[in-house]
Amino acid sequence: MPVAFLNSEFNDLYPAFNSDFSRIYFCSDREDGIFNIFYVDVEYSNGQIVGILSDTLERAVEMDQVLSGEYDDKCPYIFGNTLVFTSNRPGGSGGYDLYYSKFEDGAWTEPVNFGAAINTEFDEYRPILFDAEVDYDKDMLVFSSNRIGGKGGFDLYFVGVPVDL
């Protein structure tokens, strides 16, 4: 069943809830065919979405200019105060790269490219960051990539990243 308050006539992709399920982040190409990150505030109770605080889809909020601009920003995922996402913005390794931004002092920081240890000239996509409880000074980043050396197409990769990014 389609989720009426999120869907539009454009491409609406890759939903992710924040930790308390009060906000859904997703990407959409609603403006000029460029994918940007949006969010909608929701009321979540007993495993169900019970109300939309933003009223309608037209009230979906585009992330500030630091996180949305003239290049594609996709696949948002929130872990604590850290947003990880994929983008084809300049300054990357090529294709789509993985970036992160932190919510500090009421604003998102300038996105940081994860660098050559993670990104390649190919596409890195759909990052998920979590506490794996395996190594106490690292969180785990899981993502897909079509880089050379995999089994073919997009493959899944796991890598530890510093907890304090």
Ordered by where they begin, the domains of the chain are 12-162 (2.120.10.10)
Considering the entire predicted model, what is its pTM? 0.87
pLDDT at 56: 47
Per-residue pLDDT of the chain (165 residues), as tens digits, is 566 667 788 999 999 999 887 888 999 998 788 999 998 887 767 777 666 554 444 568 888 877 777 899 999 999 999 999 999 999 999 999 999 999 999 889 999 999 999 999 999 999 999 987 776 678 899 999 999 999 999 999 999 888 776
Identity of the amino acid at 135? D
Identity of the amino acid at 161? V
Non-local (6+) Cβ contacts of 141 within 8 A are 84, 98, 114, 118, 127, 128, 129, 158, 159, 160, 161
